[in-house]
Amino acid sequence: MRRVYFGTDGVRGAYGGKVVNEAFFTALGEAAARWLGARGVRSGKVLIGRDTRESGASLARALGTGILRGGGCAVSLGIVPTPAVSRATRLGGAALGAVITASHNPASDNGVKFFGPDGAKLTDEDEASVESVLVQAGGPPYPGEGDLPVESALEPYIEGALRLLPAGALLGWKVAIDTANGATCASTPTVFTALGAAVICLGNRPDGHNINDAVGSEHPEALARLVVSTGSRLGVAHDGDGDRCVLCDELGAIVDGDEVLAVLATHALARGTLPRKTLVVTVQSNLGLDRAVEAAGGRVVRTAVGDRYVAERMRELGACLGGESSGHILNFDFGPTGDGLAAALKIAGVMAETGRPLSELRRILRKFPQASAALAVRERKPMESLGALASAVTALEAELGSAGRVLVRYSGTEPKLRFLVEGPTDASVRSGLDRLVAAARSELDVL
């Protein structure tokens, strides 16, 4: 069954557009509740959290209205990180969890993603089933978010995160934290402070319009400068909803998701604590990650882009660690979805246990030269119809052989065609990428 509204990570788009608006969210909430009812879950509790976007309160209210109309029980969690909603859904016996967020997108966008009762994101099939019962509903949303009963998910989430490290584990540390003016402003600094660290904050004054604005995991440059200027041991940058993190070592160098995964996986392998000796990543991750993990005695399994596909494969294999180069890191010993705070704490734990700085730990990953690009397009023409691009991909793959990779795909969250090329040298990678982009431009209406 084909999905129309759900993409790689829920429903997402410009607020006030055809999909991200109060009327549609009311209809979507009603469809989700009716879908639960068809599965035998009557009056199922649905927990609704949101990030700091100005449009979030109204959309949460609309979604809750729809859930009530569909026979469900909607509960507001207020502003909380996405992994806190996942955790509350799993541990609180809820039928569904929902987060109103557009993740790392600008404040003008918004969206929603759903979690099942196990705290994991809904599958493609589940999302398609929700869409199948969706009918555009009329009627205004309720007048205020306060009409929904309220529960707290933030304090239990913080308490759970604190148990990842021993009490006082970060005494004497100085840590710079960029919360992207988003949902982690009240959680990540609190946890690091409680563990003993002196915390310097950035991007911690949300006003409804500044989420991800030149701060956060998409813009870690300011964090890097702050780490260096304050002499911090570690820098942590989240996206707007807190399910990913990008780190910065004490020298001011950015540490991406692949490097985080390499450090965690090889450390666990050395201790004999990586289940199945397996790390699960997406096709986007650098080939150097495979080499590093294999050299440490493990293996890497790849999935389609999207942390929920990583999570699904992890469950199939009995793996416990996985993620994406973008900074979605999944630690099943803490929760079933990406969690930027948990990832940062895990890295801090490795640093504390080994006594080694992050600048040294990250050297375990030697990246293959890599280049990427994206073209904004008016129409997503079927890939099989792009003959010139297909020929260019085939030719480049033949040139690179086993020494490289080519990845061309449409974004699951934006109207863009994305390219990634890895190879033995920077020159071969750049030349190959340029040829692919030129071929795509010849066949697509590029914005």
Positions marked catalytic: 103
Cα separation, 403 vs 391, in Å, equals 19
Show contacts of 157-162: CB within 8 Å, 24+ apart. 157/80, 157/81, 157/83, 157/84, 157/87, 157/88, 157/187, 158/187, 158/190, 158/191, 158/194, 160/87, 160/334, 161/187, 161/191, 161/334, 161/341, 161/342, 161/345, 162/191, 162/194, 162/195
Tens of pLDDT, residues 351-406: 999 999 999 999 999 999 999 999 999 999 999 999 999 999 999 999 999 889 99
- CATH placement of domain 11-152: 3.40.120.10
CB 293 within 8 A of CB 321: no
pLDDT of residue 263: 98
For residue 342, the one-letter residue type is: A
CB 131 within 8 A of CB 32: no
- Looking at domain 257-364, its CATH architecture is 3-Layer(aba) Sandwich (3.40)
Cα separation, 305 vs 324, in Å, equals 8
CB 435 within 8 A of CB 392: yes
For residue 7, the one-letter residue type is: G
Where does 133-215 have alpha helices with state H? 154-162, 188-194
Helix, strand or coil, per DSSP, at residue 372:
strand
Does pTM top 0.85 for this prediction? yes
Tens of pLDDT, residues 86-103: 999 999 999 999 999 999
- Looking at domain 370-441, its CATH architecture is 2-Layer Sandwich (3.30)
pLDDT of residue 145: 46
φ and ψ at residue 227, rounded to 5 degrees: -60, -45
- Strands of 416-422's sheet in order across: 370-376, 416-422, 405-410
Angle, nearest 10°, between helix axes 426-441 and 387-400? 170
CB 107 within 8 A of CB 215: no
Taking 70 as the pLDDT cut, the residues of the chain under it are: 1, 136-146
Cα separation, 350 vs 163, in Å, equals 15
Task: Give me the half-sphere count of Cα atoms (radius 13 Å) on the Cβ side of residue 234.
Answer: 31
pLDDT of residue 42: 82
Sort residue 93 into left (φ over 0), alpha (ψ -120 to 50) or beta: left
CATH superfamily of 156-253: Alpha-D-Glucose-1,6-Bisphosphate, subunit A, domain 3 (3.40.120.10)
Examine domains 11-152 and 370-441 and report if their fold is the same.
no
pLDDT of residue 268: 98
Residue ranges of the domains in the chain? Answer: 11-152, 156-253, 257-364, 370-441
Angle subtended at Cα 254 by Cα 311 and Cα 104, rounded to the nearest 5 degrees: 50
Beta bridge partner(s), residue 248: 235, 254
Bridge-based pairing of strands 245-248 and 278-282 is unpaired
User: Which segments of 43-116 are extended strands (E)?
Assistant: 45-50, 73-79, 96-100, 109-115
